[in-house]
């Protein structure tokens, strides 16, 4: 087994003054128990503790939450600038509360199940999101996150050094250009790319708050490593896609109505698990930005 895995010290429980953060994996993610996150809207001390836990654990899970759309927006505003426009529409009267509802969304432009960080193809990728479950299938429809700090830290010094010198093109149709052309047509695609052009980011970024380094590429958005030929770029990216999503770096959440997830979209990747067929799955999402690295 890899030496890095054998020598890793698992992340531990942290007792904050108002709640405890209990890790859900060896490297990241925590369950937060005993609080209603809505209380943090007017309670700045509680908010700062949740924020600190979010920076430390990267993904937080809250169960049995009661959260109105206006409260979800108010929370997002405390974390950053609300992302108003997304790939799905907002709830009427609550711009920025995106409605993700299945099976309706199977008809839309996104049915992708590949790993990604939201909006990584933008100059300023999404910083984080609050995703709240209203209706979920009994057994399926999980979401999985992958810890990109641990994935980077476990690489050999030689690979770390090599990757630190690289940049990658992030393109929102990197993984499915032909399907997009077939669905919306070349003209609409050309128009879309004027607003959402591909963007170049470092392969290894430094987190603005934790100071930890993390891998910032993903199967859904990473198109090519800058300055490499196609074969070289393919080899590097295929290695990274396999490495960065190993089960050792994953945290999987099984939702129930009232579950809320808050994630750092810089240092984690995520993907949905589409094993629920035509079952009803209704989620409200609020995403926010802060200054990019
Ligand atoms: Fe996403």
Mean residue pLDDT of the chain comes to 94
Residue 236 contacts residue 176 (beta carbons within 8 Å): no
Q: Which residues of 191-205 are buried (b: 16+ CB within 10 A; e: fewer)?
A: eeeeeeeebebbbbb
Neighbours of 142 (CB within 10 A): 17
The rounded distance, in Å, linking the Cα atoms of 53 and 57 is 6
Q: What is the set of active-site residues?
A: 116, 118, 270, 285
Residue 116 alpha carbon to ligand 1 centre in Å: 6
Residue 115 alpha carbon to ligand 1 centre in Å: 8
Specify the 3-state DSSP secondary structure of 100: strand
The rounded distance, in Å, linking the Cα atoms of 14 and 23 is 9
Could you report the per-residue pLDDT of 42-83, keeping only the tens digit for each? 999 999 999 999 999 999 999 999 999 999 999 999 999 999
Residue 143 alpha carbon to ligand 1 centre in Å: 10
Residue 185 alpha carbon to ligand 1 centre in Å: 24
Neighbours of 143 (CB within 10 A): 20
Residue 170 alpha carbon to ligand 1 centre in Å: 15
Per-residue confidence band for 127, with pLDDT thresholds at 50, 70 and 90? very high
Angstrom distances, CA of residue 36 to CA of 14, 155, 231, 259: 18, 38, 50, 11
Residues with Cβ–ion distance below 5 A, ligand 1? 118
Residue 258 alpha carbon to ligand 1 centre in Å: 19
Per-residue confidence band for 16, with pLDDT thresholds at 50, 70 and 90? very high
Residue 269 alpha carbon to ligand 1 centre in Å: 8
Q: What are phi and psi of 256, to 5 degrees?
A: -135, 160
Per-residue confidence band for 110, with pLDDT thresholds at 50, 70 and 90? low
Could you report the per-residue pLDDT of 128-150, keeping only the tens digit for each? 999 999 999 999 999 999 999 99
Higher pLDDT, 129 or 1: 129
Could you report the per-residue pLDDT of 206-230, keeping only the tens digit for each? 999 999 999 999 999 999 999 999 9
Classify residue 150 as left (phi > 0), alpha (psi -120 to 50) or beta: alpha
Higher pLDDT, 97 or 86: 97
Residue 217 burial class via C-beta count within 10 angstroms: exposed 0-12, middle 13-18, buried 19 and up = buried
Sign of the CA dihedral with 74 first, then 80, 84, and 89 last: negative
């Amino acid at each position: 087994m890899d030496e890095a895995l054998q020598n890793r010290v698992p992340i531990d429980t942290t007792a904050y003054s108002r709640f405890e953060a209990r890790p859900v994996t060896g490297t990241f993610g925590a369950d937060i128990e005993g609080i209603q996150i809505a209380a943090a809207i007017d309670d700045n001390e509680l908010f700062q503790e949740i924020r600190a836990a979010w920076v430390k654990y990267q993904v937080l899970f809250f169960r049995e939450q009661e959260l109105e759309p206006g409260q979800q927006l108010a929370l997002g505003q405390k974390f950053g600038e609300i992302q108003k426009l997304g790939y799905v529409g907002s709830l009427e009267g609550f711009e920025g509360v995106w409605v993700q509802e299945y099976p309706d969304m199977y008809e839309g432009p996104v049915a992708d199940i590949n790993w990604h960080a939201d909006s990584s193809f933008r100059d300023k990728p999404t910083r984080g999101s609050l995703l709240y479950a209203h209706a979920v299938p009994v057994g399926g429809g999980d979401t999985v996150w992958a810890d990109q700090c641990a994935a980077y830290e476990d690489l050999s010094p030689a690979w770390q050094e090599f990757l630190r010198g690289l940049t990658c093109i992030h393109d929102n149709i990197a993984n499915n250009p032909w399907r997009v052309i077939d669905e919306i047509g070349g003209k609409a695609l050309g128009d879309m790319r004027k607003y959402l052009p591909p963007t170049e980011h470092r392969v290894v970024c430094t987190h603005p708050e934790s100071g930890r380094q993390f891998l910032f590429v993903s199967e859904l958005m990473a198109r090519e490593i800058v300055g490499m030929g196609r074969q070289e770029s393919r080899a590097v990216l295929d290695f990274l896609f396999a490495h960065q999503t190993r089960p050792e770096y994953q945290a999987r959440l099984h939702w129930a109505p009232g579950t809320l997830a808050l994630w750092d979209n810089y240092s984690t990747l995520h993907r949905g698990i589409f094993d629920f067929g035509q079952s009803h799955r209704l989620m409200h999402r609020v995403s926010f930005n802060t200054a990019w690295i």
